Structure 1
Amino acid sequence: MNRQSSTGKEEFKRKETMNIYSISVQSLKRRRTKTFFLIFGLVLAVSSVVALTVISKNMSESVSKDLDEYGANIIITPKSNELALNYGSLSIGELSYDRSNLFESDVDKIKEIKNFKNISVISPKLLVVDKIDSLQTLIAGIKFDKEYALKKWWKIDGRIPEKASGVLLGSEASTKLKLNLNDKILIKGTNFSVVGVIQPTGSQDDAMVFIDLHIAQQLFDKGENLSLIELSALCYDCPVEEIVRQISQKLPNAKVSAIRQSIDSKMAAVAKFEDFSFGISIVILIISLLIVFTNVNSSLNERIREIGVFKAIGFRNRDIFKIVFFEVLIASGIAGLLGYLIGIAAANIIMPLLDSNAVIGFKFDPEIFLIASMLSIVVGIMAAFYPAYKATKLDPTVAFRTL
């Protein structure tokens, strides 16, 4: 008997819920104009936030990667101990001792770190000073493809050397050595051809002569020794300090340093994009919240008689609240889906105007879709809560006076 009674109550509650749900659906169908503006207000909020989120995310990644790839932000040098030498109050320099060495094999060790995917360029170098035409000159043995990827600002008259017999001159080195394109240059008894001259950069590169790394190691009998290794690390989704820590563990005899100024400026640029998007999103959310609130409140004011009838036939306050709640929930679900699709479409239209290389596409992003759905529901419920609460407090006798 108790089981039948319990089953009967559950069946009654189920039918009651379905009845309330059907009332909400029919109400949305009858008031199509109100429903349109309710969904429109939510779509405005969701699509704007989705578009700004996608644009901000892609712009942040794009800006960060552009900055990350525009020069080194980690430098690896041999570890050494230094002792300051003083005679009385006179400083006579520093003495280095217990100096370690860097080797080409260390580059392979760097590739073994956990966050290697965050490193875009590894450029090993060998620096030596030698006489060229009786002039002391700084010679850099490099891997030309890696160095050029690291220093995209280089403007070269001529081309990057493709063969081991080619050299690249800085602008000052070209002037000092009186060498131009296609001239021959003698380094350590070996003839090379000048295939490119770097236009002035305002850096130490202007005074240098660049040759192939392996050729430099052979000419100066350096084996696999390196003077330093420069890295460009993508610090958008991994702190560069973490990459420094991982490399330091792999290379205990090397000094791994992050170029702090470079990193700070990069992250500041990325943060500006995110702050701008967040501020605009908040403004749009407030506007949309007001639109939805006004719409729901106006709709309920027009339904005073209907609510009075519901109460007169036995609907409780929570039933009235559920009717409004279901209406907003249904509208929010539709708005969440439409807002996501419109937001992605808007981002695809706007992004190419901001970044010609940007490609977003319509690939489904479950994280952003979840944000869109939750945002629509939260905004809808927040905007409808007070009007729904006010409707539950309506006196049926007041409602019938309007008949």
Structure 2
Amino acid sequence: MKKEKRNKKLKILIGIFSVILIICCVLLFIEIFSKASPIKGKYSKEVITVLDNNNLLDKANKLDYSPTLEIMIKDDYFNKKHFDDYYLVDYHEYEGFSKHVSQLLEKEYEPEKINYLMSNQTKELINKIITLDKFEIDYLKIKDFDLDKLARYKEFNSYVLSFEEIVKAVNHDIDIKKDEVPYDSANFYINIKPAIDPHSDITLVNKAYVLDKSFVPNDLVNFESKSISKRVVEPLKEMFEYAKEAGYHLCTISSYRSYNTQTSLFYGYIKRDGRAHAERYSAKPGHSEHQLGLATDLCTTNGKRITVDSPVYPWLENNAHKFGFIIRFPKGKTGITGYNFEPWHVRYIGKEHATKVKELDITYDEYYEIFLKER
């Protein structure tokens, strides 16, 4: 009886040992098989050898097959430090792919950026990018970005413009100093279009954009005994207060003008000075910013409008943008604005845009066409 029990226990132990032995053999077989045939045998012997020599075979076995890794090794562009990157770079079948990947990784472009280039840009453009210092690849997504102007984009110093705005500015050669544009009356009052959204702060009214004769701002209020858009009152008060703290006095002598008032003024000036001369300092009816209620003519201590020689003018020129105003018809820009220099005439467009106009040193006519027209 005892002998039978002993035999039974022995059989159980032998059975357990056999199971353990089988499991060990299976595991050993799997280990040997995986080394002999990594990633289901997809890699070539050449690739396996390189991976093994770089102690990367085990790591590769734990990852999915990478055609990018394969081609980098086959084309002799493999670099151990970029092993992980190869798995993140999508494979593209074209001559020179492995060389491009190698060069872009050496310039420290991230796999995500490389994938964008491979999927969206031409081989010729990638070749050009490789010759340049590293830059933000997302720039290529900007409309009208020109790689040939990259150096100019980078050199364009700005504290207020986005890179997209810098691209627009440079594409319009704002970064290049130009000679003053001569005034030519033939360039104005042609291809006239209705002013866009006349109730907006950024509406452009000039010799190309006209207001309807029935247009009247819907927020006119009284300020210093003159009608003006309510949106302008607080910025004006603030600017006047800061000017006072700086030792200057500012006041308004003319703000909102109706279509009919502008008609009387314009034709009165023509009668007095002749059309050619009048058109350089007075707007045709419907073409005056004063009808918007956003423009005002400023005066100083003596109640007369500001001139370039007024003590307050340098302060106004350097500070108006901080309150959302611009000198609408600046010096030396008559060929662009169509009007003589008017140091007294300011226009409210809001702090953001006024600051950009000031920094770029351009007219609002130019700024609107470049940055706002397509909005």
TM-score, normalised by the number of residues in structure 2: 0.23
Asked which structure has the greater CA Rg, the reply is: 2
Structure number with higher relative contact order (C-alpha < 8 Å, ≥ 6 residues apart): 1
Higher-strand-fraction structure? 1
Structure with the larger helix share? 1
* TM value normalised by structure 1: 0.22
